[in-house]
Structure 1
Amino acid sequence: MKQVWFAAAAMAALSLSAFGAQAREDHDHACLDAACTTQALFDMIDAPAAGGGEPASLESPHYGTWGFDVAGMDRSVKPGDDFYKFASGTWDANATIPSDRVRFGNFDKLAVLSEARTKAIITEAADSRSTDPDTVKIGAAYHAFMDEALAEKLDAKPIAAELDGVRKVKTKDDFTALMGKSPTTGYASVMGVYIQADLKAPTRYAVYANNGGLGLPDRDYYLKPDFAAKKTAYEAYVAQLLTLVGWDKPADNAKAIVAFETQLAEASWTRAERRDRDKTYNPMTLAQLQALTPGYDWKRYLASSELPQIDRVIVTTNTAFPKVAKIYADTPLDTLKAWQAFKVADGAAPMLSKRFVDASFEFRNKTLSGQPEQKPRWKRGVATVNDQLGEAVGRVYVARYFPPESKAKMVDLVGNVRAALKVRLDNLSWMSPETKAQAQDKLAKFTVKIGYPDTWRDYSKLTIKADDAYGNALRSAAFDWRHDVERLNGPVDKKEWGMTPQTVNAYYNSANNEIVFPAAILQAPFFDPDADPAVNYGGIGGVIGHEISHGFDDQGRKSDGEGVLRDWWTAEDAAKFKVQADKLGAQYSAFEPLPGAKVNGQLTMGENIGDMGGLAFALEAYHASLGGKPAPVIDGFTGDQRVYLGWAQVWRAKQRDDSLRQQVVSDPHSPAYYRVNGTIRNQAGWYKAYDVQPGDKLYVAPADRVDIW
């Protein structure tokens, strides 16, 4: 199942199903970096080389003489006042964000490397005379996207059939049936379905339903005065695309479309609400679902979706459904048709002629995120191929760039960090023996995936043509949907991966109770076999601990060792956990990276707990690795100090203001600066390592520090 973090790459800003992106974003996996959200990962996979249009070196990076960039520090800053700047202040002062990016840091630096490596793989396939089916498809997909002359010649013709389908709709029920085609076409839906493991029976797949339909990054963009200018620009963009496709009354329709989406935004749950697994698991019969949404013909919708006959749906944002159904019923059909025409054009724009490409870039990248310059076409082409044939490219990537010894060393590191948590669980003073036993059982049942899948994806049923870029995107989305539909009544494929090997990220999947580390992240600054072990523990050790911690964060803790969503906590222990979690949420909600833009401590709760636990586990795992021997002092830094420096080095990043404002309202990850300073100020080991005292700006009194795991 193609997951949301790379489903949108070919579409630049939206996946082919605008509904599906929002749905999966909320419910699938917890991942390490902001890259697991739709637009953010497109940036990560499509990361530019620092030098501009040409790809970066294919060699893995190295940092300093012992794995840390000492030259990037600012030693004029006290560690206790600003640890991020102490560790990376000189780097931060001198680094620039490439003009075709909205963010640049060490995650992005590795994404540059992954992009360069996959470009080499893809272009070789495009130039090859090989008859290997996957190689042929990789080459054809790249040729199709890179054929700019053909795109200019075709202009809007690739979406003509879909627009014609919208024009032919005569009734609201016909329009509902049209939206049912969203998983296999460029159409969008205000309410729809997706397939994933049943969270209360995770060995089987289930059909989930959620509401969607928004074209801006979050409901706040419609409802908060802070984003009024962006909303106005959005209306102009809607009118522009409707004009480009020759739709009637583009300005009037654009105004009606934005008003319609504003109503949908008002009915939608907040992102913090949408991540609450207790509230988003509402199984219903089809009859109950229909009763919840009068006027929305689910029978016709599902028939168009190619699903087999089903009698059970798990509704996520259940209280929003009747509101959305009423909005849908009250909205004139002509407005809905104009909305659908815009959705088709918006989703397809990056693969059409220059006038569509430029319009999409100007609004979605430049206006919304502050990106000054469009990415070169080859970068967008590489992202597109990685989206459509990710594991076919990944298989070659692994053979070239992921040596077996790296996997073996990762197995050891995971084991060490896992052992550290086992000891910490035994020693927790606030948790009862009953809950501890359940927690230990869950930890023992963790599955670990490293590098690449054991079984590669079979693309034999996917048709890719060298002269049909948009058709390739449609067929790729339909291929993934039909793959999910075919196995709906079968067992969950526990061997499947939600990321490609060339993805610079990691994730935890609660339904499988698994932690997953793609090959591309297993290099410096996260992991360098030649680096000081303390830096590796602060880097990849912290990442490992972060993903393990997701199994015990505010949502992950709700599933047991088999991945079943159930309450395995005593009431007293759950209450104690909540006190600490609320305290952490309040800490992060006080952070204000830009004037008027505060971190949402509830939305970022899981990731913040992941960071806190991950770094603590990594430090203890490092201590255990010393085998009772004292840690060496390197360049005047103790072992513990170097662990914290390794953590800080991972999160170096600069970000454009518009992108940062978008992140704080729409992304479950805190900004990079607070993933350093917000995390270490609660760690007792950091105070000891750097002799942090009252009066230092990051100092938090012991009674006010958060200590969960």
Structure 2
Amino acid sequence: MTLRPLACALALSLIAGLAAPGAEAAKKRAPAKAKAAPVANVCSDFYANANADWLKSNTLLPGVGSVSAIEQLGARARQQQLDLLNGAMTSPKNDVQKLLGDFWASGLDEAAVERDGAQPIAPLLSRINAIKNTKEVPASIAALHQVGIPVLFNFGADIDLNDLNRHIGYFAQGGLGLPDPEYYTRTDADTRALMGRYNTYVQKILALTGTPQAQLAAEAQQVIDLETRIARASRSLLDLRDPRTNYTPVDTAKLAKQYKRLQLGEFLKAQGVTDDTVSMANPKLFSTLDGLVGSLKPNQWKAYLRWRVGDAMAPYLAKPFREAEFDFRGKLLQGRANPPPRAQAVLDAITLAAGPMVGHQYAARYLPAATDKRAEDIAKQVRDTLGQVIERDTRFSAAAKAEAKAKLDKLKIEIGLPNRDLDYTVQPMGRGSFGSNMLIASTWRHREEMKRIGRGNADRRWDVLPQEPALAYDIAQNRLIVTAAMLQAPVLDMGKDAATQYGSFGTLVGHELSHGFDNRGRLVDAKQELRDWWTPTEVAAWDALGKRVAAQYSGYDYPDLKGVKLNGQQTLDENIADLAGVELAWAAYRSAEPGSTKANHQAFYKAWASLWPQHMTSEVATQRAATSVHAPGQWRTNGPLVNQASFGEAFACKANTAMQAAANQQIKLFP
């Protein structure tokens, strides 16, 4: 959804009657003007005090569940992408912009999309319709995967848990039109009703892809029958939550012999994969699929494959496709009342198919070299500070400190874009067919994804896009990732002083870097091997710290909810990281700017607060209170500062007040 700040007039004055007052009335005291709500005191609620102007001038729009400074940053980045694509459409600066500009123009031309009808997928349908026997089915499956339409199962690149420097291919369950395999096997009334609606949707797509009216019911049943067989051999969504259950390395050479009908060896060749290992966590599923290739008739496979193509491409084709898809997926499954505006839908499509391509151009336009360098300099200073405080920390043994130092020495910092670029060689798109351009772009992205598979390729790209605001620690690759879109206000404002930059960007860097050396980071060592490099004594010390932090945050009321407390245990890891971020950035700032003033110190803490202002409806607050691992903005701001003596000194907050714990009660992550 689009979030916009809404100015709200708050000056409501009481006015005397229109008639001129008499002499006696003139002597009487005039009615007092209504007072604006008082601004919270710095030492009682720093969040409300520091963000008073934002909280007053930004209110929730009707139908919008939340608004925050970070959400506004996301909206700004989205507008920048629209501006970039509009510029590429009218006056491209290079070959990649020409591709993107044509892609964008073809998507905005709704009349051309309507004229195009089902033509973009006609070559795919022709190949499917030409299948004469089941031996030809696997090649069609492989070809559809190549253009970014995964059918029958999913296959993608991910970390090899036995070697974090490497990606391997993961064969995983998929191939269903419904999001949960249990839909196909449950027998309750609601599920039966949903399956009835699903059957109707399948028939609509089959009709649009060429099935004669008289055969629609039979072919839709064939599709659902095949998907039901896949679902019965699939694992539940709950079973898939643990990444370890999805990792079972197998020798690639054995696949061709074990799954002869499915032709998985040929499948890998078609995807350009030559690695010696893949993961297949559910061989029972693939044995089932192998059997289905040999037992089902070609016509059933053709109906299924045409349905999967039509369903996958429906949002990018003519109106009958889009309406059928939105009525079922948008309205019924997702509960949305209306489809997104055309520009938003096209941007979403381009992000899906060519997101890294947009990110490359976004960084070139919106990330000046000076901003990139400043971000890297601050990140390195915070990193060095982390090394210093770990070395001084008496809770860690000499062995743990040595491991932490080795890990920190190997830490990679990637700002703006991934260090390893992609190959942007793509078939020319042109402006004639949006659906065809989607297939061209998704074929390119699939090709680049497959290049991630193999030794030494694990850092080939990020799992976030440069045009999306993100700052994250990649635990598997031991690297700090900062996207180009993140490097603007309120995170890094080049027009502000050093105190503000450290208080916003520096604190977020410290937050993320701490994850490499916390309760999760301890499970990956300096060699990027999975092992716990803490001793039981160090674990006990961390647990004791965690209990104090959880108790502190559990005492806070959840904003916008009556009688609900923050779940300090649920938000523990992120609360500790917030505490670490503020401590590390403050120490880095004081080292970089030893002559800083009290005003500078106040600016540092105000910058921290400026990251977290937000408004929520009670419904959103209820959902986040139950599920979010982050504290709400008020306590992300105030929670760490209660424990900072330097904050109390900067604002003259006395001990044992709401914003300043007594010295012996303050929680220090790095004593």
Q: TM-score range by the shorter chain?
A: 0.7 to 0.9
Shift of 1:481: 2.8
Provide the residue aligned with 2:606 in structure 1.
642
Provide the residue aligned with 1:242 in structure 2.
203
SS at match of 2:100: helix
Provide the residue aligned with 1:552 in structure 2.
517
SS at match of 1:374: coil
Q: Quote the Cα distance in structure 1 between the aligned partners of 2:263 and 2:572.
A: 35
Kindly tell me the number of residue pairs found equivalent between the two proteins: 624
Cα distance change of structure 1 residues 481 and 389 upon mapping to structure 2, 3 Å threshold: closer
Provide the residue aligned with 1:470 in structure 2.
435
Provide the residue aligned with 2:371 in structure 1.
406
SS at match of 1:267: coil
Contact in 1 for aligned 2:128/2:302 (Cα 8 Å): yes
Provide the residue aligned with 1:531 in structure 2.
496
Provide the residue aligned with 1:121 in structure 2.
84
Say yes or no: does 1:348 pair with 2:313: yes
Cα distance change of structure 1 residues 219 and 308 upon mapping to structure 2, 3 Å threshold: closer
Which amino acid counterpart does residue 610 of structure 2 have in structure 1? G
Q: Quote the Cα distance in structure 2 between the aligned partners of 1:93 and 1:168.
A: 64
Which amino acid counterpart does residue 271 of structure 2 have in structure 1? E
Q: Quote the Cα distance in structure 2 between the aligned partners of 1:101 and 1:586.
A: 32
* C-alpha distance after superposition, 1:362-389 (max 9, x if no partner): 5555555565543332233344445555
1:263-662 mapped onto 2 (5 Å cutoff): 267-269=236-238, 272-274=241-243, 281-286=247-252, 297=262, 299=264, 302-303=267-268, 305-315=270-280, 318=281, 321-322=283-284, 341-361=306-326, 364-365=329-330, 372-390=337-355, 393-394=358-359, 396-452=361-417, 456-485=421-450, 488-489=453-454, 491-492=456-457, 494=459, 496-531=461-496, 533-574=498-539, 577=542, 610-627=577-594, 629=596, 631-632=598-599, 638=602, 641-642=605-606, 644-649=608-613, 652=614, 654=616
Say yes or no: does 1:110 pair with 2:73: yes
Cα distance change of structure 1 residues 283 and 138 upon mapping to structure 2, 3 Å threshold: same
Contact in 2 for aligned 1:257/1:338 (Cα 8 Å): no
Contact in 2 for aligned 1:537/1:646 (Cα 8 Å): no
Moved more, 348-357 or 255-264: 255-264
Cα distance change of structure 1 residues 631 and 512 upon mapping to structure 2, 3 Å threshold: same
Q: Quote the Cα distance in structure 2 between the aligned partners of 1:700 and 1:219.
A: 54
* C-alpha distance after superposition, 1:472-530 (max 9, x if no partner): 22222222333344574564385755555433223333343221212221111111133
Contact in 2 for aligned 1:558/1:566 (Cα 8 Å): yes
Provide the residue aligned with 2:30 in structure 1.
none
* C-alpha distance after superposition, 1:326-376 (max 9, x if no partner): 699699969987665554333212211223334444555555556554333
Cα distance change of structure 1 residues 356 and 536 upon mapping to structure 2, 3 Å threshold: farther
Q: Quote the Cα distance in structure 1 between the aligned partners of 2:58 and 2:266.
A: 50
Which amino acid counterpart does residue 472 of structure 1 have in structure 2? N
Q: Quote the Cα distance in structure 2 between the aligned partners of 1:676 and 1:221.
A: 40
Q: Quote the Cα distance in structure 2 between the aligned partners of 1:145 and 1:599.
A: 45
Out of 677, 682, 691, the position equivalent to 2:635 is: 677
Q: Quote the Cα distance in structure 2 between the aligned partners of 1:508 and 1:185.
A: 31
Cα distance change of structure 1 residues 260 and 604 upon mapping to structure 2, 3 Å threshold: farther
Contact in 2 for aligned 1:144/1:469 (Cα 8 Å): yes
* C-alpha distance after superposition, 1:41-72 (max 9, x if no partner): xx7xxx57779xxxxxxxxxxxxxxxxxxxxx
Contact in 2 for aligned 1:179/1:301 (Cα 8 Å): no
SS at match of 1:149: helix
The structure showing larger relative contact order (alpha-carbon pairs under 8 Å, at least 6 residues apart) is 1
Cα distance change of structure 1 residues 190 and 699 upon mapping to structure 2, 3 Å threshold: farther
Contact in 1 for aligned 2:415/2:481 (Cα 8 Å): yes
Question: Which of the two has higher C-alpha Rg?
Answer: 2
Q: Quote the Cα distance in structure 1 between the aligned partners of 2:661 and 2:240.
A: 31
> What's the C-alpha RMSD, in Å, of the aligned pairs?
5.4
Contact in 2 for aligned 1:272/1:602 (Cα 8 Å): no
Which amino acid counterpart does residue 648 of structure 1 have in structure 2? W
Contact in 1 for aligned 2:206/2:303 (Cα 8 Å): no
Moved more, 153-162 or 136-145: 153-162
Which amino acid counterpart does residue 284 of structure 2 have in structure 1? P
Out of 102, 108, 121, the position equivalent to 1:140 is: 102
Q: Quote the Cα distance in structure 1 between the aligned partners of 2:260 and 2:625.
A: 35
* C-alpha distance after superposition, 1:46-103 (max 9, x if no partner): x57779xxxxxxxxxxxxxxxxxxxxx9866788998766765885687466789876
Task: State the TM-score, normalizing by the size of structure 2.
Answer: 0.72
Cα distance change of structure 1 residues 628 and 706 upon mapping to structure 2, 3 Å threshold: closer
Contact in 2 for aligned 1:349/1:357 (Cα 8 Å): yes
Q: Quote the Cα distance in structure 1 between the aligned partners of 2:319 and 2:192.
A: 24
Which sections of structure 2, spanning at least 5 residues, go unmatched?
Answer: 7-35
Which sections of structure 1, spanning at least 5 residues, go unmatched?
Answer: 1-42, 52-72
Cα distance change of structure 1 residues 356 and 128 upon mapping to structure 2, 3 Å threshold: same
* C-alpha distance after superposition, 1:364-416 (max 9, x if no partner): 55555565543332233344445555555445544443322212221221123
Q: Quote the Cα distance in structure 2 between the aligned partners of 1:238 and 1:598.
A: 45
Contact in 2 for aligned 1:538/1:619 (Cα 8 Å): yes
Cα distance change of structure 1 residues 675 and 428 upon mapping to structure 2, 3 Å threshold: farther
Contact in 1 for aligned 2:230/2:285 (Cα 8 Å): no
Cα distance change of structure 1 residues 211 and 253 upon mapping to structure 2, 3 Å threshold: same
Contact in 1 for aligned 2:590/2:596 (Cα 8 Å): no
Cα distance change of structure 1 residues 661 and 142 upon mapping to structure 2, 3 Å threshold: same
Shift of 1:124: 2.8
Contact in 2 for aligned 1:177/1:304 (Cα 8 Å): no
Cα distance change of structure 1 residues 627 and 589 upon mapping to structure 2, 3 Å threshold: closer
* C-alpha distance after superposition, 1:440-459 (max 9, x if no partner): 21112211122245665332
Cα distance change of structure 1 residues 266 and 492 upon mapping to structure 2, 3 Å threshold: closer
Contact in 1 for aligned 2:147/2:439 (Cα 8 Å): yes
Shift of 1:203: 4.3
Which amino acid counterpart does residue 632 of structure 2 have in structure 1? Y
SS at match of 1:245: helix
1:7-22 mapped onto 2 (5 Å cutoff): none
Q: Report % sequence identity.
A: 24
Contact in 2 for aligned 1:241/1:356 (Cα 8 Å): no
Q: Quote the Cα distance in structure 1 between the aligned partners of 2:510 and 2:186.
A: 36
SS at match of 1:685: coil
Which amino acid counterpart does residue 240 of structure 1 have in structure 2? Y
Task: State the TM-score, normalizing by the size of structure 1.
Answer: 0.69
